[in-house]
Structure 1
Amino acid sequence: MTSKVISIVLGGGQGSRLFPLTATRSKPAVPIAGKYRLVDIPISNCLHSNITRIFVLTQFNSASLNKHIKNTYHFSSFSDAFVDILAAEQTPTSGHWFQGTADAVRQSLHHLSVHEFEYVLILSGDQLYQMDFDKMIQAHVEAGAEISIASIPVHANDVPGFGILKTDSDNNITEFIEKPKSNFESWASEVSPEMAAEGRVYLASMGIYLFNKQTLYDLLNGNDHPDFGKEIIPQSIHTHKVISYQYEGYWTDIGTIPSFFEANLGLTDEIPEFNLYGNKPIYTRARMLPPSKISGTHLDRTIISEGCIINAASIVHSLVGIRTRIGFETNIESCYVMGSDNYQTLEQIAHAKEHNEPIMGIGDRCNIKNAIIDKNCYIGNDVTINCGEKLPDGDFPTYTVQDGIVVVKKRAVIPNGTVI
């Protein structure tokens, strides 16, 4: 069945809520778990579900994402598999950029027309989950549905942040409301006994849609509505057979700095909700990096990526990304250090030390807590970051603070002795 499916991964808008991580890259290109990019999650889910024809739609800050896709996803010349970038473009029939999720797909339909397919699976590029789409497709076909929406049971206090579905006993969606703030008690749906016992009785849309080909074409060409969640889906419920496919595994929408930070640090739990260590790996760019070298460091609940050189005193409840250097007597707690795109040479390191300048990575005798260190940062010796009271929100030349989390900006230089 999956051979009849084409998948479209939406690259997202400007990603302002993830600033400054999205200052120079799109949301799907943001590094996650030390070695992956967010876009690797939906693509890996597709490949594990035997969906091998994938388009990634991009618009804002797309150069980094384009490079990652080009360097990562290669298939045999004898296969029809592909992961292709579809960048926003001006054409004789469309003179504007993507105006929303539905408009992005509408403007890209002519690229799909050269392929044979019956179903279109539309995914977000900024979510963390592991899902077998083949089961969703089978449920769609068996129900005779025209549209299927993946949904996840949530608690009442989560309802205002989601589009909420109301279903009948056959999983047909009878009503849809976008992010209700109050008076939504009557929107509870039938869920599994396990979910009901946890109080998760409201079905939230996961932003994962499966359309019959003709249904998608009819809906998109029949109007100019720009968005699936706000316009296309709510209107389709009354004119088409739209069903809910309930998913009860781990899923999180990484749309803000706190949710991004929590999702990454959650990977360090003894039994994380998102399993990196199963039999279905997350695919990403293959790098020929040496093993990490660690000397005299106390490690606890910490993930260390490849190619690191670490001499820290302690690293606790943290992720350390590729090619990270960390100096002597440094303590790091509850941090995501994204690492570096390259190594400095020994000559460059010697020159920096001779001129009392930071080297790429984290220097000696630093104390860093509750921070995200973006890629290619230069943090000097004796630097303290957020080890006191919770800092107020603010944006500064080399860092941003959101909800007490300090985000050191990409390529920032933090001089010796700095206190944040």
Structure 2
Amino acid sequence: MSAKNKEEPRVLAIILGGGKGTRLYPLTKERSKPAVPFGGKYRIVDIPISNCINSGYKKIYLLTQFNSASLHLHINNSYNFDRFSGGFVEILAAEQTLEHSGWYEGTADAVRKNFGHFRVQKPTHYIILSGDQLYKMDLKEFMNEHIESGAEITIAAKAVNRRDATGFGIMQVDDTNRITAFMEKPAADLNIDHWKIPEKSRGDLPADLEYLASMGIYIFNAETMEKLLDNEKTDFGKEIIPMAIKDHQVNSYIFNDYWEDIGTIRSFYEATLDLTNPVPAFNLYEETKPVYTQMSNLPPSKINNATLTSTLASEGCVITDSSIKKSVIGVRSIIREDCDLKGVVMMGADFYETEEEKAANKKKKIPDMGIGKGCKIEKAIIDKNAHIGNNCCINVSGKKYDDGDHGLFYSAEGIIVIRKGAVIPDGTVI
């Protein structure tokens, strides 16, 4: 083995599954954020996992603690590396041990409580990733720049304008991209002109993007990580990173490409519908950077005299005599005659109903799974396994709803969310 090969870093990727996901409720009522369906056939967690695999990093841990059952099922059914690769994707849910007994109390605390698992792999470097962001990044390039810079920590950063800077942790850097200060969500009226990106580091960034925002994506030297977490501090962004800047070399890595935090219903909805554009910001059709997910072995979708415009239709769908515009239709979706859908994110179904199940539901006056005949639906998210009856109208009446729970549905900034497994009777108007 050459000296070069011996020097290859041993990289461990850690994906943070997040907390309760309250901003994505009700999509997170029965599942964790990483397990939320996305793009018709994927789950959000497939994005960071695919970034790791495409970059050659196949030792991946996913840290989660809320509603992890469906996530476990998805991971186990999707990511099985051959025994010679040494790769794995393993979920580490919060657990009681002799050393600790509580939940993860923050991002740093989650990592600290799992050092016993991580040390077995003898990593030289950790990559810390978020489980609810939409982007494609060459993590190998990120790692190479980290090593060449001599930094102990490197933080992926996105250039933002002054207005958006209020929603992020903002970093002050010098001409060498070394971070000299960190500020969490600066107030809109605070003068932070001296925090602007140095001209030497700007490259071809747009002129209005003057500040560097942390993406919550980090590379740590393993030894540095151990030292920095030898305490009771719980959060990387609020505590560990500001502390590290004082005594360690912490650099920024400017990522000048599409990146979206899909942590709210609106951002999730808009990011999903953007996939229907002729040239989407997040491209699912790059052959060298595929997004991996579970192999479903479903049949091709059957389109019976329907019109689909700017729409993604996943495998196993049956769509009959309907008009669908700018929508994303998930696996096994059944859309019956004379429906009109505009701006709909339909997550599909986990299974096909049998004739026996349909007959039993009919006795209970429960419509068949999918969308019934003659329905008009706009600006809506329909979660999995929903039963929507005939002649229903959803979000087309012009009626406005306060954000929150409304029984049969949930409203968020004008977007109607039909819950997982919901039953919407014939003729319902929302």
1:334 aligned partner = 343
Distance 2:130 2:82 in 1: 26
**Does 144-153 or 386-395 show the bigger shift?**
386-395
Deviations 1:220-265 (A, max 9, x none): 01x2110000000011111100000000111001110000001000
2:285 aligned partner = 277
- Structure 1 residue 408 and structure 2 residue 418: aligned? yes
Q: 2:326 pairs with 317, 324, 328, which one?
A: 317
Classify the secondary structure of the residue corresponding to 1:237: helix
Q: 1:38 pairs with 34, 44, 48, which one?
A: 44
Question: What TM-score, normalized to structure 2?
Answer: 0.95
- Structure 1 residue 379 and structure 2 residue 401: aligned? no
Classify the secondary structure of the residue corresponding to 1:86: strand
- Structure 1 residue 398 and structure 2 residue 408: aligned? yes
**Does 155-164 or 328-337 show the bigger shift?**
155-164
Residues 366 and 423 of structure 2 are in contact (CA less than 8 Å); yes or no, is this contact kept in structure 1? no
Aligned residues: 418
- Structure 1 residue 286 and structure 2 residue 295: aligned? yes
Q: 1:350 to 1:94 in 2, by over 3 A?
A: closer
- Displacement of 1:93 in angstroms is 1.1
- Displacement of 1:313 in angstroms is 1.9
**Does 389-398 or 334-343 show the bigger shift?**
389-398
Q: 1:288 to 1:3 in 2, by over 3 A?
A: farther
Gaps of 5+ in 2: 1-6
Residues 9 and 125 of structure 2 are in contact (CA less than 8 Å); yes or no, is this contact kept in structure 1? no
Q: 1:218 to 1:418 in 2, by over 3 A?
A: same
Residues 374 and 391 of structure 2 are in contact (CA less than 8 Å); yes or no, is this contact kept in structure 1? yes
Classify the secondary structure of the residue corresponding to 2:142: helix
- Displacement of 1:309 in angstroms is 0.5
Instruction: Give, as a single letter, the amino acid of the residue that structure 2 aligns with 1:305.
Output: S
> Where do 1:222-371 residues align within 5 Å?
223-279=231-287, 280-349=289-358, 352=361, 357-371=366-380
Residues 369 and 385 of structure 1 are in contact (CA less than 8 Å); yes or no, is this contact kept in structure 2? yes
Question: What TM-score, normalized to structure 1?
Answer: 0.97
Q: 2:109 pairs with 81, 103, 111, which one?
A: 103
**Does 241-250 or 180-189 show the bigger shift?**
180-189
Instruction: Give, as a single letter, the amino acid of the residue that structure 1 aligns with 2:270.
Output: E
Deviations 1:277-305 (A, max 9, x none): 00111000001100000112111110000
Distance 2:415 2:322 in 1: 22
Q: 1:72 to 1:241 in 2, by over 3 A?
A: same
Distance 1:35 1:186 in 2: 45
2:162 aligned partner = 156
**Does 111-120 or 21-30 show the bigger shift?**
111-120
- Structure 1 residue 196 and structure 2 residue 206: aligned? yes
Classify the secondary structure of the residue corresponding to 1:165: strand
- Structure 1 residue 58 and structure 2 residue 68: aligned? no
Distance 1:109 1:356 in 2: 53
Distance 2:395 2:36 in 1: 23
Q: 1:337 to 1:266 in 2, by over 3 A?
A: same
Instruction: Give, as a single letter, the amino acid of the residue that structure 1 aligns with 2:279.
Output: I
Distance 1:22 1:341 in 2: 16
Q: 1:355 to 1:96 in 2, by over 3 A?
A: closer
- Aligned-residue Cα RMSD (Å) equals 1.4
Residues 2 and 134 of structure 1 are in contact (CA less than 8 Å); yes or no, is this contact kept in structure 2? no
- Displacement of 1:394 in angstroms is 2.6
Percent identical among aligned pairs is 51
Residues 3 and 51 of structure 1 are in contact (CA less than 8 Å); yes or no, is this contact kept in structure 2? no
1:84 aligned partner = 90
Q: 1:419 pairs with 405, 409, 429, which one?
A: 429
Residues 2 and 137 of structure 1 are in contact (CA less than 8 Å); yes or no, is this contact kept in structure 2? no
Deviations 1:124-153 (A, max 9, x none): 101100000011111111110000000011
Instruction: Give, as a single letter, the amino acid of the residue that structure 1 aligns with 2:93.
Output: A
- Displacement of 1:353 in angstroms is 5.5
Instruction: Give, as a single letter, the amino acid of the residue that structure 2 aligns with 1:373.
Output: I
Distance 1:251 1:126 in 2: 11
Gaps of 5+ in 1: none
Distance 1:377 1:169 in 2: 54
Instruction: Give, as a single letter, the amino acid of the residue that structure 2 aligns with 1:237.
Output: I
1:16 aligned partner = 22
- Displacement of 1:3 in angstroms is 5.1
Instruction: Give, as a single letter, the amino acid of the residue that structure 2 aligns with 1:232.
Output: I
- Displacement of 1:194 in angstroms is 3.3
- Displacement of 1:78 in angstroms is 2.0
> Where do 1:101-250 residues align within 5 Å?
101-182=107-188, 183=190, 184-190=192-198, 191-197=201-207, 199-221=208-230, 223-250=231-258
Deviations 1:28-53 (A, max 9, x none): 00000010011110000000000010
Classify the secondary structure of the residue corresponding to 1:113: helix
**Does 180-189 or 287-296 show the bigger shift?**
180-189
Classify the secondary structure of the residue corresponding to 2:89: strand
**Does 152-161 or 10-19 show the bigger shift?**
152-161
Q: 1:301 to 1:28 in 2, by over 3 A?
A: same
Residues 45 and 132 of structure 1 are in contact (CA less than 8 Å); yes or no, is this contact kept in structure 2? yes
Distance 2:360 2:108 in 1: 53
Classify the secondary structure of the residue corresponding to 2:34: helix
Q: 1:344 to 1:3 in 2, by over 3 A?
A: farther
